[in-house]
């Protein structure tokens, strides 16, 4: 049925285009002085049919499932649903759905079979209605568009106006998705703060999210203080930036200013490969190479070093960020006009002095923006730390100790059998919310810095 609806849509679009094109051409041949070219009249009709009808089909498909479920559910015998929780009702609905889809397990009760039959019937009706509605709307739009063809009708502006509106709509999608993401985080976070006091979470120094799942289970009381977790994130992100910033910047300067063509032809693609390595692979590298190396080095010095140190995870994360920073710095240096370089060289500065005293200061805003974006990536990075960092939250800033991060905690809180109404699970959303706000602030700061201090060269 959906296929038929789409076929109707396509043929209506084509018909609209051809009809308007031909009638416009007829007018022109009849001696009228047309405002717009024939093609614009055709295009106007095509767009007038396409967009509303397409929107209708999409909305229909999005909501028909929900509506049918609602109708079926309200038609179920009341005595069967009495005293049942949402989870059980959802199970019953799932069973009805699978019966309607032809997958029957065991012998279901008669009322479930009835409901399934009703569901099948409703779906068929819905499909038929969809086709009818599509055809009707397409016909109406065809008629409206066809009526518009006239010598002084501004089809050109009309078609452009529709396309303009379409572009605005596409740009809005991103904004609404962002709002949706924030809202979904926000609701769960509010639920969490109904169970755990806000300040306990923000200022608490103890993170032990183990709480009893069942009434009779013996477990700790549970403590949700985010400070040690965020401290861990900061330690690892700091290590990462200490590794990534100098290496990334210096490699960018070298590649941009000093490297010969041949060196650049080799090194740049290698850096790009580094940027394309999946973070899981970096995780392997951290556990299998860096962590044992740090540990045995520490053992040689007589230092007791945890197997999953912040240093190992952080330095591998730093390696991951090198291409990020270096490509930002490269762009920033490339944006400095050649005339500045010439000006510096012409007063007798060496290439190194030119980079250090003229190009680098001129490129600083772009570079700082890149570094801040790298910081927010380091804070949000998940896979490397899940593999290579620890699980126990400690209030420490020692990079040789084992620390945990916000992202690691979110992952561990959400995997496994968890109920979605316990503070343990909801804590993940609260952590995610704080993380989101942090990276948001950093990103905004980065963009503002880039924009404010960017030198405008013409």
Partner 1 sequence: MYDLKKPEHDVDQAKTKISARGVQVFYGDTQAIKDVNVEIADKTVTSFIGPSGCGKSTFLRCINRMNDTIDICRVEGEITIDGHDIYAPDVDPVQLRAKVGMVFQKPNPFPKSIYDNVAYGPRIHGMTRNKAELDEVVETALRGAGLWNEVKDRLDTPGTGLSGGQQQRLCIARAVATQPEVLLMDEPCSALDPIATALIEDLIDDLKQQFSVVIVTHSMQQAARISQKTAFFHLGNLVEYGDTDTIFTNPRDERTENYITGRTG
Determine which residue in the list 70, 343, 398, 447 makes contact with partner 1, applying CB under 8 A: 343
Residue of 2, 55, 45 lying closest to 22 (CA atoms): 45
Count the site residues for partner 1 by CB under 8 A. Answer: 20
Is residue 362 at the binding interface for partner 1, with CB under 8 A as the rule?
yes
Is residue 262 at the binding interface for partner 1, with CB under 8 A as the rule?
no
Give the integer Cα–Cα distance in Å for 327 and 270: 12
Is residue 350 at the binding interface for partner 1, with CB under 8 A as the rule?
yes
Determine which residue in the list 113, 133, 202, 349 makes contact with partner 1, applying CB under 8 A: 349
**117 vs 455 by CB, closer to partner 1:** 455
CA dihedral 190, 193, 195, 200 (to 10 degrees): 170
Q: Quote the DSSP letter at residue 207.
A: E
Q: Which of the residues 385 through 444 are near partner 1 (CB under 8 A)?
A: none
Q: How far is the CB of 357 from partner 1 (least distance, A)?
A: 7
Determine which residue in the list 214, 261, 262, 452 makes contact with partner 1, applying CB under 8 A: 261
Q: How far is the CB of 197 from partner 1 (least distance, A)?
A: 51
Is residue 265 at the binding interface for partner 1, with CB under 8 A as the rule?
no
**210 vs 350 by CB, closer to partner 1:** 350
Q: How far is the CB of 65 from partner 1 (least distance, A)?
A: 59
**367 vs 375 by CB, closer to partner 1:** 367
Give the integer Cα–Cα distance in Å for 80 and 70: 16
Give the integer Cα–Cα distance in Å for 222 and 201: 12
Q: What is the CA radius of gyration of the chain?
A: 31
**25 vs 454 by CB, closer to partner 1:** 454
Is residue 455 at the binding interface for partner 1, with CB under 8 A as the rule?
yes
Is residue 357 at the binding interface for partner 1, with CB under 8 A as the rule?
yes
Query: Could you tell me if 2 and 62 are in contact, meaning their C-beta atoms sit under 8 angstroms apart?
Result: no
Q: Which residues contact 185 (CB under 8 A, 6 or more apart)?
A: 429, 432, 433, 436
Residue of 150, 146, 162, 155 lying closest to 41 (CA atoms): 155
Is residue 171 at the binding interface for partner 1, with CB under 8 A as the rule?
no
Query: Could you tell me if 344 and 353 are in contact, meaning their C-beta atoms sit under 8 angstroms apart?
Result: yes
Give the integer Cα–Cα distance in Å for 236 and 82: 53
Is residue 358 at the binding interface for partner 1, with CB under 8 A as the rule?
yes
Give the integer Cα–Cα distance in Å for 188 and 203: 20
Determine which residue in the list 339, 416, 421, 452 makes contact with partner 1, applying CB under 8 A: 339
**224 membership: H or E segment, kind and range:** strand 223-224
Q: How far is the CB of 351 from partner 1 (least distance, A)?
A: 8
Binding segment for partner 1 (CB under 8 A), chosen from 157-165, 308-316, 344-352, 400-408, is: 344-352
Is residue 361 at the binding interface for partner 1, with CB under 8 A as the rule?
yes
Give the integer Cα–Cα distance in Å for 24 and 33: 11
Q: How far is the CB of 309 from partner 1 (least distance, A)?
A: 42
DSSP per-residue codes, 338-360:
HHHHHHHHHTT--HHHHIIIIIH
**3 vs 346 by CB, closer to partner 1:** 346
Binding segment for partner 1 (CB under 8 A), chosen from 25-33, 269-277, 338-346, 381-389, is: 338-346
Instruction: Give the side-chain half-sphere CA count within 13 A for 37.
Output: 3
Give the integer Cα–Cα distance in Å for 399 and 232: 9
Q: How far is the CB of 341 from partner 1 (least distance, A)?
A: 8
Is residue 327 at the binding interface for partner 1, with CB under 8 A as the rule?
no
Query: Which residues lie near partner 1 (CB under 8 A)?
Result: 261, 337, 339-350, 353, 357-358, 361-362, 455
């Amino acid at each position: 049925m959906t296929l038929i609806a789409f076929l109707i849509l396509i043929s209506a679009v084509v018909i609209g285009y051809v009809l308007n094109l031909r009638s416009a051409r007829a007018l022109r041949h009849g001696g009228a002085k047309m405002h717009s070219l024939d093609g614009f009249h055709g295009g106007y009709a095509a767009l007038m049919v396409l967009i509303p009808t397409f929107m209708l089909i999409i909305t229909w498909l999005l909501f028909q499932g929900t509506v049918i479920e609602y109708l079926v559910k309200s038609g179920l015998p009341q005595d069967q649903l009495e005293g049942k929780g949402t989870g059980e009702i959802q199970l019953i609905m799932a069973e009805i759905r699978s019966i309607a889809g032809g997958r029957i397990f065991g012998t279901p009760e008669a009322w479930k079979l009835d409901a399934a039959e009703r569901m099948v019937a409703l779906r068929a009706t819905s499909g038929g209605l969809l086709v009818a509605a599509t055809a009707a709307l397409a016909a109406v739009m065809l008629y409206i568009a066809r009526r518009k063809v006239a010598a002084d009708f501004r089809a050109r502006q009309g078609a452009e106006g529709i396309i303009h509106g379409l572009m605005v709509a596409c740009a809005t999608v991103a904004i609404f998705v962002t709002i949706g993401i924030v809202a979904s985080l926000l609701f769960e976070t509010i639920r969490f703060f109904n169970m755990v006091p806000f300040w306990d979470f923000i200022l608490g120094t103890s993170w032990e999210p183990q709480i009893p799942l069942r009434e009779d289970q013996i477990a700790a009381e549970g403590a949700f203080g985010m400070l040690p977790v965020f401290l861990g994130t900061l330690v690892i992100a700091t290590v990462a930036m200490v590794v990534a910033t100098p290496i990334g910047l210096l490699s960018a300067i070298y590649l941009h200013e000093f490297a010969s063509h041949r060196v650049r032809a080799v090194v740049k693609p290698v850096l790009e490969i580094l940027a394309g390595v999946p973070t899981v692979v970096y995780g392997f590298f951290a556990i299998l190479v860096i962590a044992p190396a740090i540990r045995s080095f520490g053992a040689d010095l007589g230092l007791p070093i945890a197997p999953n140190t912040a240093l190992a995870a952080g330095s591998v994360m730093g390696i991951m960020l090198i291409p990020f920073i270096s490509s930002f710095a490269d762009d920033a240096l490339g944006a400095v006009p050649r005339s500045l370089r010439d000006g510096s060289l012409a007063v007798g500065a060496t290439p190194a002095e030119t980079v250090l005293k003229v190009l680098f200061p001129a490129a600083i805003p772009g570079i700082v923006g890149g570094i801040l974006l790298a910081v927010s990536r380091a804070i949000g990075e998940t896979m490397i730390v899940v593999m290579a960092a620890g699980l126990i939250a400690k209030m420490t800033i020692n990079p040789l100790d084992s620390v945990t991060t916000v992202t690691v905690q979110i992952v561990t809180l959400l995997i496994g059998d968890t109920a979605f109404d316990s503070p343990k699970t909801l804590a993940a959303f609260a952590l995610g919310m704080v993380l989101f706000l942090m990276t948001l602030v950093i990103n905004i700061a980065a963009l503002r810095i880039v924009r404010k201090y960017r030198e405008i060269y013409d």
